[in-house]
């Protein structure tokens, strides 16, 4: 048994666990990674470090374990010179197509602000009692993720049946799914206007309005089955230079793994999405009952509680409190 205590701030234990994870992580990288721009967000910084390039996974992994990213990305675009600082100088060669589906777009999620110092629920960005910056909390439940799963299935059906694409589904690591079309040839060279047409089509804009038979292809058949368009983040899809979360990386707002989903019907939003095991002592900043990775847990401000480390790290990255002791 190994015991860690936290003495020098909130991030130390999280950093240790992230580093240990990345030393052995199975990252899913594009076969043409030398043409991709890489980017990351460090711990304790709101800005991204961009314009990085790597020739192989060994170079990337060495960089990751030294710099330790909170978030990790590669570009949907392929470039002649991916490390060039000027976007025009990079030499755009085409891009994959990405779709984002976030659970809070399909559900009325629980959302509130609170003060991490006094623990009060407040409105606005500052606590009226002590002037502290407030924290916004958004609660994603398994029920809401299941609704998003259904929307993702609808999107994939449209992309397969109407465009003959071969989409891949990924859990975003936080509150939804990414659908990626790995493009080559004409697909990769689609400009923003063409991608906008695709996004509007899947959302049900400017499509045939007549209702056919349920067995009919395209929108006439979908309308016969009372199917509607799928709400996506259109800006993500039309962007020809978008950043994509690296599958196998950790999402810095949850500690969960970004991962490909082979069978989305079997996907469950729970603690198994976390790589972290063992138990931790967690000290909440706030009192209340929370739904955390499918577990309903009551917190009492400043009262330590024993949690599975997967849930404790998730709660920490949601800014609900901090881990004070970790037992592996």
pLDDT digits (tens, 9 = 90+) for 152-173: 999 999 999 999 999 999 999 9
100 is catalytic: yes
User: Domain of 275?
Assistant: 270-327
| Chain segment 35-79, per-residue pLDDT in tens | 999 999 999 888 999 999 999 999 999 999 999 999 999 999 999
Measured CA to CA, the distance from residue 94 to residue 191 in angstroms comes to 9
Residue 139: which H helix or E strand, with range? strand 135-139
**pLDDT surpasses 60 at 32:** yes
Average pLDDT, the chain: 94
**pLDDT surpasses 80 at 10:** no
CA dist 127 → 44, 113, 118 (Å): 22, 9, 9
Domain edge (last residue) among 201, 231, 258: 258
What are the residues whose beta carbons fall under 8 Å from the beta carbon of 93, sequence distance 6 or more? 35, 77, 78, 79, 80, 188
Q: Is residue 86 domain-shared with residue 10, that is, in the same domain?
A: yes
**pLDDT surpasses 50 at 8:** no
Q: Judge whether 152 lies within some domain.
A: no
CATH code: domain of residue 291: 3.40.5
233 is catalytic: yes
Burial (Cβ within 10 Å: 0-12, 13-18, ≥19) of residue 307: buried
Q: Judge whether 274 lies within some domain.
A: yes
Measured CA to CA, the distance from residue 89 to residue 105 in angstroms comes to 36
Tokens of 328: 């592996």
Q: Is residue 50 domain-shared with residue 20, that is, in the same domain?
A: yes
On whether the CB atoms of residues 168 and 177 are closer than 8 A, the answer is no
Q: How confident is the model at residue 261 (pLDDT cuts 50, 70, 90)?
A: very high
CATH code: domain of residue 62: 3.90.920.10
102 is catalytic: yes
Residue 204 zone, left/alpha/beta (φ > 0; ψ -120 to 50; rest): left
The residue annotated as part of the active site, out of 100, 104, 157, 239, is 100
Domains of the chain: total:
2
The residue annotated as part of the active site, out of 86, 102, 125, 239, is 102
The residue annotated as part of the active site, out of 104, 154, 157, 233, is 233
Q: Judge whether 218 lies within some domain.
A: no
Q: Is residue 247 domain-shared with residue 298, that is, in the same domain?
A: no
| Chain segment 224-256, per-residue pLDDT in tens | 898 999 999 999 999 999 999 999 999 999 999
Q: How confident is the model at residue 1 (pLDDT cuts 50, 70, 90)?
A: low
Q: How confident is the model at residue 140 (pLDDT cuts 50, 70, 90)?
A: very high
pTM to 2 decimals?
0.93
R_g (Cα) of the chain, nearest Å = 21
Q: Is residue 53 domain-shared with residue 12, that is, in the same domain?
A: yes
Q: Judge whether 76 lies within some domain.
A: yes
Tokens of 81: 């010179």
Q: Is residue 275 domain-shared with residue 307, that is, in the same domain?
A: yes
Q: Judge whether 231 lies within some domain.
A: no
């Amino acid at each position: 048994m190994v015991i860690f205590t936290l003495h020098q701030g909130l991030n130390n234990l999280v950093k240790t666990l992230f580093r240990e994870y990345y030393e052995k992580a199975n990252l899913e990288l594009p076969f043409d990674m030398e043409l991709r721009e890489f980017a990351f967000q460090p711990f304790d910084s709101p800005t991204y470090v961009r314009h990085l390039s790597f020739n192989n996974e060994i170079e990337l992994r060495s960089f990751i374990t030294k710099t330790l990213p909170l978030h990790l990305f590669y570009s949907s675009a392929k470039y002649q010179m991916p490390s060039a600082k000027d976007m025009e100088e990079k030499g755009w060669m085409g891009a994959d197509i990405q779709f984002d589906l976030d659970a809070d777009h399909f559900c009325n999620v629980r959302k509130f602000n609170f003060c991490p110092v006094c623990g009060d629920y407040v409105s606005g960005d500052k606590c009226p009692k002590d002037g502290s910056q407030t924290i916004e909390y958004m609660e994603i439940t398994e029920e809401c993720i299941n609704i998003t799963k259904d929307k993702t299935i609808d999107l994939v059906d449209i992309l397969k049946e109407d465009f003959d694409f071969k989409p891949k589904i990924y859990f975003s690591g936080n509150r939804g799914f990414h659908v990626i079309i790995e493009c080559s040839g004409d697909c990769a060279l689609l400009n923003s206007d063409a991608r906008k047409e695709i996004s509007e089509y899947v959302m049900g804009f400017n499509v045939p309005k007549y209702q056919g038979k349920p067995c009919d292809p395209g929108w006439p058949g979908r309308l016969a089955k009372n199917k509607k368009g799928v709400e996506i983040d259109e800006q993500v899809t039309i962007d020809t230079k978008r950043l994509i979360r690296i599958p196998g990386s950790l999402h810095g707002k949850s500690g969960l793994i970004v991962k490909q989903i082979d069978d989305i019907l079997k996907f469950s939003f729970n603690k198994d999405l976390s790589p972290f095991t063992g138990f931790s002592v967690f000290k909440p900043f706030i009192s209340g009952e929370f739904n955390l990775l499918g577990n309903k847990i009551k917190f009492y401000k400043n009262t330590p509680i024993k949690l599975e480390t997967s849930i404790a790290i998730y709660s920490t990255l949601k800014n609900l409190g901090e881990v004070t002791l970790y037992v592996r």
